[in-house]
Amino acid sequence: MNRYLLSILLFAGLIWSRSSFGKFTSGTFVQTLGETLSRFASKNPNAFYRDFLQNTAIPNSQTFGQLVMWGEALVAVAIVIPALYLIFQPKTKCKVTLWLLIVGLIGGAFLNLNFWLASGYTSPSSDGLNLLMLVTQVVGVLCILDYNKKV
Give the per-residue pLDDT at 150.
79
Give the per-residue pLDDT at 149.
84
What residues have CB less than 8 Å from 64, skipping those under 6 apart?
Answer: 33, 37, 57
Give the per-residue pLDDT at 92.
80
CA 74 vs. chain centroid, Å, equals 10
Give the per-residue pLDDT at 91.
83
Cβ atoms of residues 80 and 14 within 8 Å: yes
The structure's pTM equals: 0.94
Give the per-residue pLDDT at 77.
99
Q: Spell out the domain ranges in the chain.
A: 3-150
Give the per-residue pLDDT at 10.
98
Give the per-residue pLDDT at 76.
99
- Averaged over successive runs of 10 residues, the pLDDT of the chain (151 residues) comes to 95 98 96 97 96 98 98 99 94 89 99 97 94 98 91 70
